[in-house]
């Protein structure tokens, strides 16, 4: 009797599938950050308010978060390859509309559609990886996946800065078309179809509605709190924010109660609540949410600082941020070896610690005269941390999840990450704008500027999230106010970076609860 074959059923096709997945994920991750460095240009071109600028970024992550469980459920039912292709098609169509937008409303709407497509892409790709890779290859696949996420999050600002400076910010969206066509070709040729054979054939509509209300309501309340007021509007009328926040909290409770009862009764459910009993999944999700909060909140606020206060062009800011990508890419090759030597949990913990130290370093050393090499050095350390932590945290979270339930777990993981990133943009963006306005008002009052004029300057600077500072400095009569605005922007950014560093430190603490995962060669699903 001949020994069983150890050859993978997909052969070398699985590595081409990994390349297709990496390219698809790189587009949606890059699109989450590519607009950040071009944001001041977009604000000026389309005359966006600070609130609209927050929504342009947050609506992408918000839609991501609101629909990830839904599309993960669809992938389990109908097939993840089909979901991947459909998501990429919708993402490309939305990119055409985003690049052609002539108003804030159209741009925000297009970003919403991009988020719908991106949610399908992210969930289907993570579940597919979990299904086709095992053992030692799994560590390699997730290292590539994590390096793609970390690297593209940093390459996006460079590409966005180059396009905004030398071409047009609109090409930040139109570039998705040719690369999206390559992804579709790869899906057709090399990506296998996978699904959950034990999933119910009926779609959980009520669960989908409750999850969308829970995630969407939470982020809406945080973003609009500064606009409508947390309790009352400037006009004195009651603010809708408390009611929306309460509805989001109630929807969250009802969702988990409903899903648990449905699963116990054998009815269709979007997620198996029992998966949360897995310590690697439960504590990994907490760490992922906190880390995404700090990472994406920082990536939203940092380009505004570089261009608004420190005088960098969009391209110059992009070149600085590419040092983050270099750190992520350089460490990605060593991550599988480190994982074998010290374990996934240690790699994750060291990576998150490096991120927290780097962001704290930015907060402590930031000033109007900080040299570019110092910023680049901190961002490089931050990138090394991202490269170490991102991939292995994903692998730890999925390590004990049965492959058949990969869609549910990947949807839950991606939901938590995107909710964290949307909350990071909302909270840190609001903190930056609020601190900027208050700090500038104090400086203008101390300078003796007439109250009417100071209020006007504060509204211009605060309303543009600092993007109007260079234009203010170009006017000889506004040079003094511009200098005070730059100083206020630096102080606000230091406060924001400090808050982000604290969030990342909490992420490190969350990893202390992670159990020691099995080594890749002990994978029970081999």
DSSP secondary structure string for all residues of 168-206: -TTHHHHTHHHHHHHHHHHHHHTPPP---TTS-SS--HH
Cα pseudo-dihedral 139, 140, 141, 147, rounded to 10: 100
- pLDDT at residue number 90: 94
**Radius of gyration, CA atoms only, the chain:** 23
Q: Which residue do the tokens 């890419």 mark?
A: 329
Closest CA to 178 of 282, 99, 275, 294: 99
Distance, in Å, from the CA atom of 277 to the CA atom of 482, rounded to the nearest integer, reads 54
Distance, in Å, from the CA atom of 208 to the CA atom of 73, rounded to the nearest integer, reads 9
Q: What are phi and psi of 201, to 5 degrees?
A: -80, -10
pTM value is 0.69
Who's near 196: CB < 8 A, 6+ residues apart?
76, 77, 404, 405, 406, 407, 408
Q: Is 232 helix (H, G, I), strand (E, B) or coil?
A: strand
Compute CA distances 312 → 76, 283, 309, 316, 516, whole Å: 46, 40, 8, 5, 44
- Which tokens go with 54? 């927050």
Count CB neighbours of 427 within 10 A.
20
Distance, in Å, from the CA atom of 77 to the CA atom of 270, rounded to the nearest integer, reads 10
Distance, in Å, from the CA atom of 317 to the CA atom of 376, rounded to the nearest integer, reads 10
Distance, in Å, from the CA atom of 154 to the CA atom of 326, rounded to the nearest integer, reads 9
Q: What are phi and psi of 521, to 5 degrees?
A: -80, -5
Q: Count CA within 13 A, CB hemisphere, residue 504.
A: 30
Supply the angle between the helices 104-132 and 406-447 in degrees, to the nearest 10: 140
- pLDDT at residue number 522: 44
- pLDDT at residue number 4: 44
Stretches where the chain sits below pLDDT 50 are: 1-6, 519-526
């Amino acid at each position: 009797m001949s020994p069983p074959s150890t050859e993978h059923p997909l052969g070398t096709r699985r590595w081409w599938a990994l390349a297709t997945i990496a390219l698809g994920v790189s587009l949606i991750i890059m699109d989450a950050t590519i607009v950040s460095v071009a944001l001041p240009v977009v604000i000026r071109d389309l005359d966006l308010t600070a609130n609209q600028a927050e929504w342009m970024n947050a609506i992408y992550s918000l839609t991501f978060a609101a629909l990830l469980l839904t599309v993960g459920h669809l992938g389990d039912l109908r097939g993840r390859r089909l979901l991947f292709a459909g998501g990429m098609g919708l993402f490309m169509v939305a990119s055409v509309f985003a690049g052609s937008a002539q108003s804030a409303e159209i741009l925000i709407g297009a970003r919403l559609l991009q988020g719908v497509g991106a949610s399908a892409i992210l969930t289907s790709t993570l579940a597919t990886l979990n299904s086709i890779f095992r053992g030692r290859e799994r560590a390699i696949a997730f290292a590539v996946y994590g390096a793609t996420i970390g690297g593209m999050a940093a390459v996006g600002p460079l590409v966005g800065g180059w396009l905004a400076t030398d071409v047009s910010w609109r090409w930040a969206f139109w570039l998705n078309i040719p690369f999206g066509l390559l992804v579709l070709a790869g899906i057709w040729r090399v990506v296998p179809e996978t699904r959950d054979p034990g999933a119910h054939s009926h779609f959980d509509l009520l669960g989908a509605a409750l999850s969308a209300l829970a995630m969407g309501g939470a982020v809406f309340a945080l973003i609009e709190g500064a606009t409508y007021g947390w309790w009352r509007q400037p006009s004195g009328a009651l603010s809708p924010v408390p009611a929306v926040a309460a509805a989001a909290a109630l929807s969250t409770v009802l969702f988990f109660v409903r899903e648990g009862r449905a699963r116990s009764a054998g009815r269709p459910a979007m997620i198996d609540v029992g998966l949360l009993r897995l310590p690697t999944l439960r504590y990994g999700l907490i760490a992922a949410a906190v880390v995404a909060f700090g990472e994406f909140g920082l990536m939203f606020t940092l380009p505004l600082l570089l261009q608004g206060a420190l005088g960098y062009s969009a391209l110059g800011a992009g070149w600085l941020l590419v040092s983050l990508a270099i750190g992520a890419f350089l460490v990605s090759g060593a991550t599988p070896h480190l994982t074998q030597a010290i374990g996934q949990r240690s790699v994750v913990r060291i990576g998150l610690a490096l991120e927290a130290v780097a962001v704290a370093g930015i907060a402590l050393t930031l000033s109007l005269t900080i040299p570019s090499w110092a910023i680049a050095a901190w961002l490089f350390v931050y990138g090394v941390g991202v490269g170490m932590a991102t991939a292995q945290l994903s692998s730890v979270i999925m390590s004990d999840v049965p492959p058949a339930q990969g869609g549910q777990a990947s949807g839950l993981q991606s939901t938590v990450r995107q909710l964290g990133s949307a909350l990071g943009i909302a909270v840190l963006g609001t903190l930056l704008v609020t601190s900027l306005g208050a700090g500038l008002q104090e400086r203008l009052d101390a300078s003796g500027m007439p109250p009417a004029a100071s209020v006007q300057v504060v509204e211009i600077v605060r309303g543009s999230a600092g993007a109007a500072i260079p234009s203010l400095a170009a006017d000889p009569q506004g040079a003094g106010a511009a200098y005070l605005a730059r100083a206020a922007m630096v102080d606000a950014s230091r406060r924001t970076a400090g808050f982000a560093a604290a969030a990342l430190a909490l992420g490190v603490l969350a990893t202390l609860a992670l159990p020691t995962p099995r080594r890749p060669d002990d994978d029970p699903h081999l």
